[in-house]
Amino acid sequence: MTAAADARGTELGRYLKARRAQVRPEDVGLPAGAGLRRTPGLRREELAALAGVSVDYYIRLERGRETNPSPAVVDALGRSLRLRGDGYERLHELAELASGRSSELPASSDHTVRDSVLRMLASVRPLPAYVVSRYNRVLAANPPGRRLMPGLWDWPEDQRNLTRYVFLHPVGRTLYEPWEDTVALSVAHLRAVGGADPDSPELTALVGELMLKSTQFARLWERYDVCERGGGQKSFRHPKVGPMTLTYEVMRLARTGGQRMVVYQAAPGTPDERAMLRLESPDARPEQAPPEHPQPADKPCPTYAPSTADASVG
């Protein structure tokens, strides 16, 4: 086995092992059994039986020593692991890479943003928009897009990565709500875009740093959840413009090695849109809500000393 084939087979094995740990015996109609389980999820022999393959064959597959599973075997493993959508597709992609049926790895990420894309960023203002690399490095943004992520631009250019931002930047850890859901999706997306080229220097450097610096990232990375996002909704608690919930669309940019343009928007006339539009201003401030019990401007609040009866209430 060549070194490249061994690496690809190992990545397939990692995926199978991680997904096996997420499936409980009762999820697939098996008894939990007696005795202590050394690892969570299904045992190797249980998954092999469910998929209709020998235990020895499955162990070789998980250890990266078997790199040519048939499509029927891959389908059976996917069904047994209860994979759907992106997770099911990723299993087939990794099996094809391991077997050599798909020998082409993704083109190396290009960090140069075309002039035409920069013009697009300018043309969508006042909508916040930015361009990221395959592995979430922010390459360009329009002014509201820059202000959407406070503090990111204080980092050196080669450190401006959205996954790093949500885990390691103090503002990134409070900007998104709920933070736990945001980081779980971020890691699942990184797994999705990086699965076909797990040895990419850009990816391995990012993952290595976050594994050392964030226990949350390490836990989520080992789960090997996969979710390639094409759009959705995010809620922010922005320190400059206040809370807002925005929808976003993700557009792949052709011939770039994985660059994507992300554009945010909000429904017209809503508080979310008003908050978003304030990102256009460098001196943006949250919208001030009126006081619950406004006092007349020419009559200051009287000094009030509670009586004994008042003090006993509540």
15 versus 298: which is more confidently predicted?
Answer: 15
Q: What's the whole-model pTM score?
A: 0.71
Q: Inform me whether the pLDDT recorded for 302 exceeds 70.
A: no
| pLDDT tens track for 266-296 | 999 999 999 999 999 877 666 554 434 443 3
Least confident of 3-12, 88-97, 171-180: 3-12
pLDDT at site 85: 76
pLDDT at 170: 94
Of all residues in the chain, what percent carry a pLDDT higher than 70?
Answer: 81
Given the DSSP bridges, would you call strands 138-141 and 242-252 parallel, antiparallel or unpaired? unpaired
Q: What is the pLDDT of residue 305?
A: 37
Cα distances from 263 to residues 19, 84, 100, 128, 167, in angstroms, run 32, 27, 37, 6, 22
Q: Kindly report the length of the chain.
A: 314
Q: Give the model's pLDDT for residue 50.
A: 87
Q: What is the pLDDT of residues 303-313, one digit of tens each?
A: 333 333 333 33
Element (H, E) at 262: strand 260-265
Q: What is the DSSP letter of 5?
A: H
DSSP SS3 for 268? coil
Residue 240 has pLDDT above 70, yes or no: yes
Helical spans, DSSP H, in 64-214 = 71-80, 85-99, 115-123, 143-148, 162-168, 172-175, 179-194, 201-213
Average pLDDT rounded to a whole number, residues 23-47: 75
Angle between helices 85-99 and 179-194 (to 10 degrees): 30
Residue bearing the bigger pLDDT, 285 or 165: 165
Please, which pLDDT band fits residue 37 given cuts at 50, 70 and 90? low
3-state secondary structure of 130: strand
Please state, in angstroms and rounded to a whole number, the distance separating the CA atoms of residues 185 and 10. 24
As given in the structure block, the two tokens for residue 24 are 């409980």
Q: pLDDT tens digits, residue range 181-237?
A: 999 999 999 988 876 677 788 899 999 999 999 999 999 999 888 887 778 899 999
**What value does the mean pLDDT take over residues 82-111?**
70
Residue 124's closest CA among 255, 271, 248? 248
**CA 297, CA 274: separation in Å to the nearest integer?**
27
Q: Mean pLDDT, to the nearest integer, of 42-57? A: 85
Q: What pLDDT, on a 0 to 100 scale, did the predictor assign at position 202?
A: 87
Amino acid letter for position 193: V
Query: Is 76 exposed, middle or buried (CB count within 10 Å of its CB: 0-12, 13-18, 19+)?
Result: middle
**Mean pLDDT to the nearest integer, 9-25:** 82
pLDDT at 181: 92
* SS3 assignment, position 67: coil
Distances from the Cα of 301 to the Cαs of 47, 227, 295, in angstroms?
Answer: 72, 56, 7
Residue 247: strand pairing partners: 233, 265
Look over the chain and give the mean of its residue pLDDT values, rounded to a whole number: 81
Q: How confident is the model at residue 129 (pLDDT cuts 50, 70, 90)?
A: very high
Report d(CA 219, CA 43) in Å as an integer.
Answer: 20
The full 3-state SS of 30-63, as one line of letters, equals CCCCCCCCCCCCCCHHHHHHHHCCCHHHHHHHHC
